[in-house]
Amino acid sequence: MFHSDDNVEALIPDLLDMGIRALNPIEPCGMDIREIKKRFGRNLTLVGNMDVGGALSNGTPEQVQEEAKQLIDDIDKGGGSVLASCHSITSSVRPENFAAVVDTAQTYGVY
């Protein structure tokens, strides 16, 4: 797994050549996880894309659940992804919002 807090999309072919098979995180402000899934999803597991500065910190559990469901619908089918935040779970993330991600992944993300 390769971890970078920057837009490394241009480096993905090189990372794959080096044997990297997972990329973390996929920050939504810098990279389009849906496009990366289309281009590299057969060879690369994508980890994280829920914006810590968005619904996780500022939304309701229902908004978090909707964002998580949308990511699952868009990128999880067929495997090769891990639902997670785009960075980490910071102190700004309310516990009920974190629980909404976990609950959504356990109930909606199983395929």
Give the containing element (helix H, strand E) for 38: helix 33-40
pLDDT, tens digit, 9 for 90 and up, residues 69-109: 999 999 887 788 898 888 788 899 999 999 999 999 999 87
The predicted model gives 4-33 an average pLDDT of: 92
Helix, strand, or coil (residue 51): coil
DSSP codes of every residue in 62-105: HHHHHHHHHHIIIIITTS-EE--BSS---TTS-HHHHHHHHHHH
The helices-and-strands tally (H runs, E runs) of the chain is: 5, 4
Taking residues 43-50, what's their average pLDDT? Answer: 91
pLDDT of amino acid 29: 84
Question: Is residue 23 a contact partner of residue 46, using CB atoms and an 8 Å limit?
Answer: yes
**pTM (2 d.p.):** 0.86
**pLDDT tops 70 at residue 111:** no
Higher-pLDDT residue of 77 and 20 is 20
The pLDDT of residue 44: 95
The domains of the chain are located at 2-108
Given a cut of 80, is residue 10 above it in pLDDT?
yes
pLDDT at 70 (0 to 100): 93
> Could you tell me what percent of the chain has a pLDDT over 90?
68
Integer Cα distance of 71 and 36 in angstroms: 13
Say if residues 52 and 17 touch (Cβ distance below 8 Å): no
pLDDT of residue 55: 94
Go through the chain and tell me how many residues it has: 111
Q: Which residues pair with 2 in a beta bridge?
A: 23
